[in-house]
């Protein structure tokens, strides 16, 4: 059975990675690609490595009421740009929204696919997690579920590659010469991803996340995201690792490692790596979560969610090894 797939936001980095994964998926057939700036151009002109069988596709102007027959739509639009338009997509079309508009919206299921897969299967409207929450919550979930750290006293120091800032490009701050060879902290005590993480921490722990602190940084690399998380608790390193191995038993995409993971371990894949170091004497627990911000942090997790809502194995089309070096 072929599933007819569309992607809107094809010119952005998230949309481009969705294209790569859909093109390699055993059950998906790309029949529709839409963008704003790129509408009217051939998809192959934008993606010189496009498979020959997709060479006939033209990038359409995005119009939710003029879709071809679709089973599934990936939406990767800038935050603020998708809520109104996606409401007009026919109910029969399943949607995974990679963008940020529906993560707290009624009628949408928050798609942490390795943590709550059973809530996702059977749905038709999935809000994909943000890239920072994907890394941080994957590392935190086992600790919160087992009560190994206090939910109200968590510091997340996160670092992302620059593709996480989107393809906007119009902003010279993200130009190569200015972004290269520099490390940029931003959004101190006010980043847009903080409420999303607080909600999930509360759901995972049953407690309040009131004290949550989150600091994002831009790192001079294209892809990759690491959350270094500081929690309070008396657990040992071994207890944390064991809790994570138990929590993620049977999950294909989560790797619990003894040594600290680096971001390149995940590049180009849907994998997430988590590790832990704890010192009961200082009552500190460090949790590390690594993802590819465009993989598990965006399009990879989106395809995993799509697999779940289409009744496929969640690993379909996502089994490629990371690209190294």
- Indicate if 310 belongs to the active site: no
Neighbouring residues of 151: CB distance < 8 A, sequence distance ≥ 6? 144, 201, 202, 204, 205, 206, 207, 208, 209
Q: Which of 38, 76, 138, 179 binds a copy of itself (CB under 8 A)?
A: 179
What phi and psi values does residue 219 have, to the nearest 5 degrees? -110, 140
Q: Which of 51, 80, 90, 280 binds a copy of itself (CB under 8 A)?
A: 51
Nearer to a copy of itself, 89 or 212 (CB): 212
Site stretch for a copy of itself (CB under 8 A), options 17-25, 56-64, 127-135, 200-208: 17-25
Nearer to a copy of itself, 93 or 149 (CB): 149
**Is residue 194 within the footprint of a copy of itself (CB under 8 A)?**
no
Q: Which of 41, 213, 246, 280 binds a copy of itself (CB under 8 A)?
A: 213
Q: Taking the complex as a whole, how short is the minimal distance between the CB of residue 60 and a copy of itself, in angstroms?
A: 20
Nearer to a copy of itself, 116 or 230 (CB): 230
CA 111 from centre of chain:
9
Q: Which of 174, 195, 236, 313 binds a copy of itself (CB under 8 A)?
A: 174
**Is residue 177 within the footprint of a copy of itself (CB under 8 A)?**
yes
- Three-class secondary structure of residue 172 per DSSP: helix
Q: Taking the complex as a whole, how short is the minimal distance between the CB of residue 275 and a copy of itself, in angstroms?
A: 9
Q: Taking the complex as a whole, how short is the minimal distance between the CB of residue 105 and a copy of itself, in angstroms?
A: 27
Residue-wise over 238-263: b if at least 16 C-beta within 10 A, else e? ebbbbbbeebbeebebbbbeeeebeb
Token pair in block for residue 70 = 């679709």
**Is residue 48 within the footprint of a copy of itself (CB under 8 A)?**
yes
Interaction with a copy of itself in 52-71: which residues (CB under 8 A)?
A: 52
Q: Which of 16, 129, 233, 300 binds a copy of itself (CB under 8 A)?
A: 16
**Is residue 105 within the footprint of a copy of itself (CB under 8 A)?**
no
Interaction with a copy of itself in 241-260: which residues (CB under 8 A)?
A: 252, 255, 257, 260
Rounded Cα gap, residues 305 and 3, in angstroms: 14
Rounded Cα gap, residues 312 and 307, in angstroms: 5
Interaction with a copy of itself in 144-173: which residues (CB under 8 A)?
A: 155, 157, 159, 161-163, 165, 167-173
Q: Which of 131, 194, 198, 229 is an active site residue? A: 131
Interaction with a copy of itself in 280-299: which residues (CB under 8 A)?
A: 282-284, 286, 288
Rounded Cα gap, residues 322 and 325, in angstroms: 9
Nearer to a copy of itself, 63 or 279 (CB): 279
Q: Which of 14, 224, 297, 300 binds a copy of itself (CB under 8 A)?
A: 224
Nearer to a copy of itself, 75 or 240 (CB): 240
Q: What angle do CA 116, 121, 126 make, to 5 degrees?
A: 80
**Is residue 25 within the footprint of a copy of itself (CB under 8 A)?**
no
Instruction: Give the pairing type, strands 109-110 and 125-127.
Output: parallel
Token pair in block for residue 143 = 């600790």
Residue-wise over 59-90: b if at least 16 C-beta within 10 A, else e? bbebebeebeebbbbbbbbeeebbbebbeebe
For residue 160, which of 220, 240, 244 has the smallest C-alpha distance? Answer: 220
| 36 half-sphere exposure, CB direction, 13 A CA radius | 10
Q: Which of 82, 205, 267, 305 binds a copy of itself (CB under 8 A)?
A: 267
Q: Which residues are marked as active site?
A: 131
């Amino acid at each position: 059975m072929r599933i007819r797939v569309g992607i809107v936001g094809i010119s952005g980095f998230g949309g481009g990675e969705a294209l790569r994964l859909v093109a390699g998926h055993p059950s998906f057939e790309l029949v529709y690609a839409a963008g704003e700036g790129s509408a009217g151009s051939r998809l192959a002109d934008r993606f010189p490595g496009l498979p020959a069988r997709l060479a006939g596709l033209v990038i359409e102007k995005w119009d939710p009421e003029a879709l071809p027959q679709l089973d599934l739509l990936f939406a990767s639009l800038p935050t603020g740009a998708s809520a109104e338009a996606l409401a007009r997509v026919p109910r029969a079309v399943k949607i995974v929204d990679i963008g940020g508009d529906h993560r707290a919206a009624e009628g949408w299921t928050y798609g942490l696919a390795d943590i709550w897969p059973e809530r996702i299967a059977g749905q038709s409207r999935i809000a994909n997690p943000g890239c920072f929450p994907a890394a941080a919550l994957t590392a935190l979930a086992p600790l919160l579920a087992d009560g190994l750290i206090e939910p109200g006293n968590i510091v997340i120091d996160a670092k992302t590659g620059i593709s996480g800032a989107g393809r906007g490009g119009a902003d010279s701050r993200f130009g190569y010469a200015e972004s290269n060879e520099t490390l940029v902290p931003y959004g101190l005590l006010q980043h847009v991803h903080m409420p999303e993480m607080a909600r999930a921490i509360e759901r995972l722990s049953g407690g309040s996340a009131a004290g949550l602190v989150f600091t994002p940084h831009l790192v001079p690399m294209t892809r990759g995201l690491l959350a270094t998380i500081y929690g309070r608790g008396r657990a040992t390193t071994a207890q944390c690792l064991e809790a994570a191995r138990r929590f993620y038993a049977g999950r294909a995409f989560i790797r619990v490692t003894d040594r600290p993971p680096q971001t390149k371990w995940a590049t180009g894949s849907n994998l997430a790596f988590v590790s832990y170091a704890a010192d009961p004497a200082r009552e500190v627990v460090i949790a590390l979560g690594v993802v590819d911000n465009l993989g598990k942090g965006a399009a990879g997790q989106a395809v995993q969610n799509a697999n779940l809502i289409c009744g496929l194995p969640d690993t379909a089309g996502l089994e490629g090894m990371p690209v190294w070096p």
